[in-house]
Structure 1
Amino acid sequence: MDKHTPAGAAYTVQRRVAGPHDVRMDGMTDLILRAQGKSVFDIGCNRGMVGFHAPAWRRLPRTRGCDNYEQGILAAREIFADLRAVDSRFEVVDLTGGPEALKPFGAKKYDFVLCLATYHKLKRVMLAEDLSVLMQHFGRITKGYFAWRGTSDKHAENEEEMAALDRDLGAVGLKRIHTSYLSAELGVAAIWGR
C-alpha cells in the first residue's frame, strides 16, 4: 500500500486492455517499420502505452491521443512528458460528440491513425450514421495509414466492422491494404492506406 491509499482500503487498478502491451501491434508491425519521423493519432489511447512501448514510435515528432478515461489520459501526459523529442498531446474526449469533440486537436492530419479495440465500444453507444461520420472524419485526417483492431472473440462482429470501415474509409479515399488474422490472442487487425 502506498501513502495515497487510505488505511484499510483495497488497492485496485482496472485492467483496460486485452493482451499485453508488447503485442498490441501484432499483425500490424509493418507500420512500426515505417514510423520514424511520422505523426500518430491514437483513438482510445488509454494510457498511451502503444505509442510508448515501440521504440520507433517514441521518435515520432507528433503523438496525439484521446480517450474518455481521464486517469489514463493523465498517465499518458505524465509518461510522454519525459520524451522531450516528442510533441505530444493527450485529451479526455467523448467521441460520441462526433468530430466536434476533437476540437482540442485542431485541423491537423496524421501519418498514422490507430483505432485499436475501440470501434466496437463506440458502436455500442453511437448510432450507425454518427459512427460513420466519425470514422470518415478520422479517415480524412489520415495522411498515410489507418490501423484497426477488432475483438478477439467475436469473429462475425469483426467482419461486419471491417466491412463498415471499408465503406466509411473508402468514401474518403482510403483502401484496405492489409488484413491479419495472425494474433490469436488479440484478434483480427486491418490497415487502410491512402
Structure 2
Amino acid sequence: MKESEYKLQRRVAGYHDIRMDGMTDLVLRAKGSSVFDIGCNRGLVAFEMANNGATVCHGCDNFEQGIGTARELFADLRAVETRFEVLDLTGGVAAVSRVFGNSRYDIVLCLATYHKLRRIMPAAALSELMVDFGKRTIRYFGWRGTSDKPAENEKEITNLDHDLGLAGLKRIHTSYISEILGVAAIWGRV
C-alpha cells in the first residue's frame, strides 16, 4: 500500500493511559516479568508494562502496520527483550506455536480481542486457543471485554472461566469500574 493511500484509523476504545483501567494491579506486577499481549495492536500496553519494569514483552496482531509500530516503539528499549509478530490467530494453537514455540509468560493479556475472535472462529477452536494461552500463563491472565456489547462480556467471562480453568487458572478479580472500556478480569495460577 502506498503511503498516500494509507488512512489512519482508530483501532481501540479509550486512550493508552486508560487501557489498563480496572487491571492496574497487573501493571504494578510488571517489574521483572515477562508479558505476552494477544492482539497487541500498536504495542502501547506492552510499552506501558515495559515502562513499569517488564523485562520481556512479546505480542501478536494481524494488523501489520501496528506490529511495525510496536517494533519501532521498542527499538530503543535495549533492556527489554521484545518480539512482535504479525499473526492470524484464527490459525489456532498451531499458528501460535509456529511463531512463539512453547514460550510461557508471567502475564498474558487479551484486551478487547476475544470478542473479535469469537465472531470469526468456531467455538471449539477458540476454546482450544484460550486453553493454550492459559497454559502459557505462569502467573496472571488479563482480559477486557468490549464496551459496546456488555451483555456479551458476561458470556465471554463464563467461557474464559471454563477454558482458563482447564489450564489451572482461576478468576481472582473482576472490575466494572471503567465506564469507557467496560469490564475487565484477571485470572491467576491456582
- Scaled to the shorter chain, the TM-score interval is over 0.9
1:182 aligns with 2:177: yes
Which residue pairs with 2:120 in the alignment? 125
Give, in angstroms, the shift of residue 172 of structure 1.
Answer: 1.1
Q: Distance in 2 between matches of 1:32 and 1:73?
A: 21
Paired residue for 2:56, among 62, 70, 93? 62
Report which stretch shifted further, 132-141 or 97-106: 97-106
Structure 2 residue ranges without an equivalent (≥5):
none
Structure 1 residue ranges without an equivalent (≥5):
none
Q: Distance in 2 between matches of 1:12 and 1:71?
A: 11
Offset from partner CA, 1:35-86 (integer Å, 9 cap, x none): 10000000000010111135644x3111100000001001111111111100
TM-score (structure 1 length as normaliser): 0.92
Q: SS of 1:178's equivalent? A: strand
Structure 1 residue runs of 4 or more that deviate by more than 3 Å after TM superposition: 53-57
Which residue pairs with 2:86 in the alignment? 92
Q: Distance in 2 between matches of 1:5 and 1:78?
A: 17
Which residue pairs with 1:42 in the alignment? 37
Determine what percentage of the aligned residue pairs are the same residue. Answer: 66
Q: How many residue pairs were aligned?
A: 187
Which residue pairs with 1:77 in the alignment? 71
Q: Distance in 2 between matches of 1:96 and 1:53?
A: 27
Q: Output the aligned Cα RMSD.
A: 1.4
Paired residue for 2:163, among 164, 168, 171? 168
Contact 2:22–2:175 at 8 Å: present in 1 too?
Answer: yes
Q: SS of 1:120's equivalent? A: helix
Offset from partner CA, 1:113-144 (integer Å, 9 cap, x none): 00000000000000000000000000000000
Q: Distance in 1 between matches of 2:133 and 2:3?
A: 39
TM-score (structure 2 length as normaliser): 0.94
Q: SS of 1:66's equivalent? A: strand
Q: Distance in 2 between matches of 1:46 and 1:5?
A: 19
Contact 1:80–1:88 at 8 Å: present in 2 too?
Answer: yes
Give, in angstroms, the shift of residue 12 of structure 1.
Answer: 2.5
Which residue pairs with 2:24 in the alignment? 29
Contact 1:32–1:56 at 8 Å: present in 2 too?
Answer: no
1:152 aligns with 2:147: yes
Contact 2:42–2:67 at 8 Å: present in 1 too?
Answer: yes
Which residue pairs with 1:108 in the alignment? 103
Structure 1 residues 146 and 5: CA distance shift in structure 2, 3 A: closer
Q: Distance in 2 between matches of 1:174 and 1:108?
A: 17
Supply the AA of the counterpart residue of 2:154.
Answer: E
Supply the AA of the counterpart residue of 1:70.
Answer: E
